[in-house]
């Protein structure tokens, strides 16, 4: 049988087209497989991060449990422990480590919440913790410290690429996540038989801004004039609006972003982008500069509380004061460049949301009484009056009692100045880069 040149050309064309189609299909299939694999690895990484975070929470709440001296606080901490342990167990179940028996880890996660809950119920019924029960809380805390530290090491090895989520060949040098968790499970502990910001910053913007109530709306032109006056930049332009509880005009140029509230024309926040490559001034000097800047903004009643250094910028938290009472609800954050002292950012939203003159009651309990209500496991250093947010949108008048724990840990205990109830406990982690509260 013979074939014409035209037929031969058609065969070649169809063959090439078929091969090309198969190649494209194979490429699509490969791309989809790679995408699916990446998504699976992302889900594994989220599970690892959830485990690390919740073990850290368990550790911090157990330490707070060692220092609490009230039934309500112990009950609150036990509820958090139950929730964090359940989340950690759920995240563990999502990892490809089915063949690894994590009996001791699951036992700890199952018992830590239930045990603390049982102790809280015992105290609520009029009982008191025995020395053995107090010791058990301490041992659980020690176990949680080691477990949390081991988990962070596993996460770090995964991020560095030293641990893989997939299966590997028998002669490969790669370490699977199952192998990585073997050390996590085999911790040498005596298992008992059976928390960069100032405190309360998560609560400061949960309600309608008090300072904007009844204020008239200003025009875009007036807001721009104020933004130019503050930044000294005459090439700002409106790039959009912010809605929500604090509607604002937003202006930008190649360096600044600044928001001005529509009601009242208050400065909401400002960011000035540039790199800071060296540190020439101290955090103390940066705090002084930030305080002077607040005075230029007309805010005279704020006290610096905590600071954090990030990328050469010192971010200082200020809280309003009223008659020597610190208002932890009325927060302002100022970012100062540590190379030349330039103001690179501020955030006034917490202040605008909450600031007002309060009708504070007289404390019904003395400072000495508040100190006496603090756990005997703590050594008291000082006590001052303050206002903190409650779990909802209310405020609580408290004594902030500054203490140290048996291991030197810095602890803040908040005692209600009216009822004497222990309202909150914060652990302070102080370093050269600032203070973290947990």
CATH of the domain at 407: 3.10.450
Residue 370 scores a pLDDT above 90: yes
* Euclidean distance between CA atoms 263 and 214, whole angstroms: 8
- pLDDT bracket for residue 143 (50, 70, 90): confident
> What is the number of structural domains in the chain?
3
Are residue 110 and residue 134 in the same domain, yes or no?
A: yes
Total Cβ atoms within 10 A of residue 390: 12
* Euclidean distance between CA atoms 242 and 268, whole angstroms: 11
Are residue 88 and residue 132 in the same domain, yes or no?
A: yes
Are residue 25 and residue 80 in the same domain, yes or no?
A: yes
Residue 22 scores a pLDDT above 90: no
Which residue has better confidence, 255 or 397? 397
pLDDT for the residue 168: 40
Q: Could you give the percent of the chain with pLDDT greater than 70?
A: 77
Are residue 126 and residue 162 in the same domain, yes or no?
A: yes
Are residue 174 and residue 245 in the same domain, yes or no?
A: no
Report the DSSP beta bridge partners of residue 428.
Answer: 410, 437
Residue 434 scores a pLDDT above 50: yes
Q: Which of 91, 136, 81 is nearest to 114 (CA)?
A: 81
Domain-embedded: residue 14:
no
Mean per-residue pLDDT, 63-78? 85
Weakest-pLDDT range from 73-87, 102-116, 222-236: 102-116
Report the mean per-residue pLDDT for the chain.
80
Q: Which of 289, 351, 292 is nearest to 314 (CA)?
A: 289
Weakest-pLDDT range from 70-84, 97-111, 389-403, 418-432: 97-111
Q: Which of 141, 133, 125, 116 is nearest to 63 (CA)?
A: 141
Domain-embedded: residue 13:
no
Total Cβ atoms within 10 A of residue 351: 27
Q: Which helix or strand (DSSP H or E) is residue 332 part of? A: strand 325-337
Are residue 51 and residue 164 in the same domain, yes or no?
A: yes
Mean per-residue pLDDT, 37-42? 63
Q: Is 373 exposed, middle or buried (0-12, 13-18, 19+ CB in 10 A)?
A: middle
pLDDT for the residue 393: 66
Mean per-residue pLDDT, 376-392? 89
Mean per-residue pLDDT, 214-226? 95
CB 67, CB 405: distance < 8 Å: yes
pLDDT for the residue 102: 65
Domain-embedded: residue 391:
yes
Which residue has better confidence, 218 or 186? 218
Are residue 127 and residue 71 in the same domain, yes or no?
A: yes
Q: Which helix or strand (DSSP H or E) is residue 295 part of? A: helix 283-296
Beta-carbon-side half-sphere exposure of residue 187 (alpha carbons within 13 Å): 22
Weakest-pLDDT range from 166-175, 199-208, 284-293: 166-175
Domain-embedded: residue 361:
no
* Euclidean distance between CA atoms 288 and 304, whole angstroms: 9
pLDDT for the residue 282: 94
Are residue 273 and residue 312 in the same domain, yes or no?
A: yes
Cα dihedral sign for 251, 348, 309, 284? positive
Rg (CA), the chain: 29
Are residue 52 and residue 165 in the same domain, yes or no?
A: yes
Mean per-residue pLDDT, 356-384? 94
pLDDT for the residue 398: 96
Mean per-residue pLDDT, 360-383? 95
N-to-C CA span, the chain: 86
Are residue 215 and residue 245 in the same domain, yes or no?
A: yes
**Length of the chain counted residue by residue:** 438
Are residue 301 and residue 328 in the same domain, yes or no?
A: yes
Q: Which helix or strand (DSSP H or E) is residue 163 part of? A: strand 163-164
Q: What pLDDT, in 10s, does the model give residues 169-201?
A: 444 455 555 555 665 565 544 555 452 244 555
C-alpha distances out from residue 51 to 18, 55, 128, Å: 49, 6, 32
Total Cβ atoms within 10 A of residue 30: 10
Q: Which is it for strands 163-164 and 410-416: parallel, antiparallel or unpaired? A: unpaired
Residue that terminates a domain, selected from 310, 333, 354: 354
pLDDT for the residue 9: 45
C-alpha distances out from residue 49 to 151, 180, 253, Å: 9, 15, 37
Domain-embedded: residue 314:
yes
Residue 162 scores a pLDDT above 50: yes
- pLDDT bracket for residue 220 (50, 70, 90): very high
pLDDT for the residue 219: 96
Residue that terminates a domain, selected from 185, 219, 247: 185
Its domain, for residue 223, covers 202-354
Are residue 177 and residue 233 in the same domain, yes or no?
A: no
Domain-embedded: residue 230:
yes
- pLDDT bracket for residue 111 (50, 70, 90): confident
Weakest-pLDDT range from 13-17, 106-110, 291-295: 13-17
Which residue has better confidence, 319 or 106? 319
Domain-embedded: residue 405:
yes
Residue that terminates a domain, selected from 298, 333, 354: 354
Domain-embedded: residue 4:
no
Tell me the two tokens of residue 102: 């994590």
């Amino acid at each position: 049988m013979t074939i014409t040149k035209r037929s031969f050309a058609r065969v070649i064309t169809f063959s090439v087209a078929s091969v090309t189609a198969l190649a494209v299909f194979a490429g699509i299939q490969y791309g989809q497989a790679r995408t699916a694999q990446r998504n699976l690895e992302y889900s594994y990484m989220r599970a690892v991060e959830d485990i690390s975070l919740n073990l850290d929470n368990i550790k911090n709440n157990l330490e707070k449990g060692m220092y609490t001296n009230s039934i309500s606080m112990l009950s609150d901490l036990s509820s958090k422990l139950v929730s964090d342990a359940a989340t950690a167990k759920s995240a563990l179940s999502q990892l490809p480590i089915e063949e690894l028996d994590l009996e001791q880890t699951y036992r700890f996660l199952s018992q830590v919440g239930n045990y603390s809950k049982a102790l809280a119920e015992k105290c609520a019924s009029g009982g008191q913790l025995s020395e053995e029960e107090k010791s058990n809380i301490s041992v659980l805390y020690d176990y949680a410290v080691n477990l949390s530290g081991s988990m962070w090491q596993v996460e770090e090895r995964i991020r560095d690429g030293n641990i893989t989520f997939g299966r590997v060949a028998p002669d490969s040098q790669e370490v699977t996540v199952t192998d990585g968790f073997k050390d996590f499970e085999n911790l040498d502990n005596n298992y008992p038989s059976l928390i960069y910001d100032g405190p309360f910053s998560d609560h400061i913007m949960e309600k309608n801004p008090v300072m904007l109530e009844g204020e008239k709306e200003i025009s875009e032109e007036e807001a721009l004039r104020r933004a130019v006056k503050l930044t000294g930049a005459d090439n700002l332009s409106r790039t959009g609006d912010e809605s929500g509880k604090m509607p604002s005009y937003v202006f930008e140029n190649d360096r600044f972003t600044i928001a001005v509230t529509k009601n009242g024309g208050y400065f909401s926040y400002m960011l000035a982008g540039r790199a800071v490559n060296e540190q020439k001034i101290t955090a103390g000097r940066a705090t002084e500069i930030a305080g002077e800047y607040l005075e230029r903004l007309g805010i005279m009643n704020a006290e610096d509380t905590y600071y954090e250094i990030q990328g050469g910028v010192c971010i200082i938290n200020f809280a309003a004061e009223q008659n020597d009472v610190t208002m932890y609800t009325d927060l302002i954050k100022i970012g100062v460049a540590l190379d030349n002292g330039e103001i690179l950012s501020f955030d006034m939203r917490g202040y605008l949301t909450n600031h007002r003159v309060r009708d504070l009651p007289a404390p019904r309990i003395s400072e000495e009484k508040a100190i006496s209500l603090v756990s005997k496991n703590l050594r008291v250093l000082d006590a001052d009056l303050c206002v903190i947010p409650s779990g909802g949108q209310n405020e609580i008048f408290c004594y902030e009692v500054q203490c140290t724990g048996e291991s030197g840990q810095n602890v803040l205990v908040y005692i209600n100045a009216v009822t004497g109830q222990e309202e909150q406990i914060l652990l302070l982690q102080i370093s050269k880069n600032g203070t973290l509260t947990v």
